Structure 1
Amino acid sequence: MAPLDSPFLAYPQRPASFAATLGATVVVIPHPDDEALGCGGLLALLRQAGQPVAAVLTSDGSQSHPHSQEFSAVARRELRYAELRHALSILGVEESDDNVRYLHLPDGALPTEGQPGFAEAAAQLAGFLREKQPATVLVPWRRDPHPDHRATSQLVAAALAQLPQPPRRLEYVVWAWERAAPDDLPRPEEAVSFQLDIAPVLAQKQRAIRAHRSQLAPGIITDDPSGFLLSDSMLAHFAQPTEVFLEAPTA
């Protein structure tokens, strides 16, 4: 689906100043690069408005190039963690140890509700949210067509259920731009959908995307021809001056 054909681009637009109304925010990220792709503009706008932003990475990011011999699984994990920290710093997000939490769950095999490790991960996430007390949580769209993104959405839902006063939840899209089946798209009754104007920080977002060098051609892990790289068509969706968000309607 080409960007100009996307149903997301029919959503109403909100101004960049909307970001300042969200307050302190935690972004929950399935893989390093999802934060820059899906909501990097919003993160930059939040920081410009002086709002605190913290981050949680659910997967270890190690499986983008699983057959590499030059980069072990540990080396791939550490490379992607470093790329995440770099991208966050470009967006203005403090990258200290107490501001970025790693759940270290297996890339490509995040547990879903009822599976081993799910309850423990949800409890860790709930603990981080209690510590940070955000007004808003950013999380992948619940039916974003990648299993780790859907599992991350479930983890957030389970963590929020443990809080006496859950924060506002905004969902961002990554793979739904290209891979969404009709049933993956939001229905009118389940989400208020909008585009956010990120034109003032679009260049900053693009720099954050480029910080994920291992995921961009020609890549820096060169001994795994089957490894994952973001395609030009995929990247085109995130070169636009808007980002898409969805929020459950209030009662």
Structure 2
Amino acid sequence: MVVAPHPDDESLGCGGLLALLRQAGQPVWCVLVSDGTMSHPNSRAFPPAARQALREQELRDALHILGVEPAALLTLQLPDSQVPLPDSPAGFAAVQQLQQFLSQHQPATLLVPWRRDPHPDHRATSQLVAAALVGLPGAPRRLEYVVWAWERATPAEWPQPQEVVGWQLDIRSVLEQKQRAIAAHRSQLPGSPIHDDPTGFTLAPSMLAHFTAPTEVYLEAPHPQDALHSGLLPYPTHDS
């Protein structure tokens, strides 16, 4: 199960892994946390409801490219750029939705944003997931993926010594599939169909370049017994 703060984070951060899992016949679910409407807040051609519908359809298109079933999507519809923390009423309600979805599907692995990824929605998403896991029996393996830290992280926002184990996944066999999934998020790319907000957001070429690599990076809190049984070693990175 991948938890994406915004439509496109699922493809940018772990599109290769999702494609590989589906190729292997493994079920994949996706949780979309925010409504994605703040990428172009001044558009009149695409008012908030239209922006939300457009971005959700782009997500569905991307998931289809990666092989994920349409019914495997849960949308929390929290406000973009203002995803609440668990201690707020809206955050508490989101935690309950997450707990129900996790209990229903019982994923073996949970893919979440890096806990200190510079975007506030990514940090809030990490906290919502952490709160949802409290008290759940048989907590899934939690892997953290990187999006904005590649461009914006300060030294303090990167992993600290002994905090996590980092490793890389070879996605060469599905890299083209991942690129097509990213391209499905047309509103977030140069030449966006949301054409009437010159201050609107699109992903810069320098940012997109980070996601053309033949590997994806994952961070995982080190638990000695888990690391022993999974074959992970406590080195800064290794190839999987």
TM-score (ref. length: structure 1): 0.88
Counterpart for residue 168 of structure 1: 141
SS at the partner of 1:53? coil
1:159 aligns with 2:115: no
Secondary structure, counterpart of 2:162 in structure 1: coil
1:142–1:149 contact (8 Å) kept in structure 2: yes
Cα separation, 1, equivalents of 2:147 and 2:114: 8
Structure 2 spans left out of the alignment, 5+ residues? 225-240
More deviation, 189-198/204-213: 189-198
Distance in 1 between the 2:104 and 2:147 partners? 27
- CA RMSD in angstroms comes to 0.8
**Distance (whole Å) between structure 2 residues aligned to residue 37 and residue 162 of structure 1:** 30
Query: Structure 2 matches for 1:1-20, cutoff 5 A?
Result: none
How far is 1:164 from its partner?
A: 1.5
Aligned residue in 1 for 2:203 = 230
Structure 1: gaps of 5 or more residues = 1-25
Cα shift at 1:95? 1.2
8 Å Cα contact 2:145-2:217 kept in structure 1? yes
Separation in structure 2 between the aligned mates of residue 245 and residue 159 of structure 1, nearest angstrom: 21
Task: Report what 1:205 is aligned to.
Answer: 178
Equivalence for 1:72 = 47
Show structure 1 runs of 4+ deviating over 4 A.
Answer: none
Q: Which has the higher relative contact order, 1 or 2, with Cα contacts under 8 A spaced 6 or more apart?
A: 1
Q: Matched residues in 2 for 1:100 and 1:166: separation?
A: 20
Indicate whether 1:55 and 2:20 are aligned.
Answer: no
SS at match of 1:246: strand
Q: How many residues align?
A: 224
Partner residue, 2:77:
104
SS in 2 for 1:186: coil
Q: Secondary structure at the match of 2:31?
A: strand
Residue aligning to 1:18? none
CA distance in 2, matches of 1:188, 1:27: 26
2:101 equivalent to 1:128: yes
Give a deviation string over 1:184-233, Cα, whole Å, max 9, x none: 11123111101111111000000000000000111100000000000000
- Residue-by-residue CA offset, 1:105-131 (whole Å, 9 max, x unaligned): 000000013223111101100100001
d(CA) in 1 for partners of 2:172 and 2:106? 29
Partner residue in 2 for 1:32: 7
Percent of residue pairs identical = 66
Alignment of 1:181-200 (within 5 A): 181-200=154-173
- Measure the CA separation in 1 of the matches of 2:166 and 2:80: 29
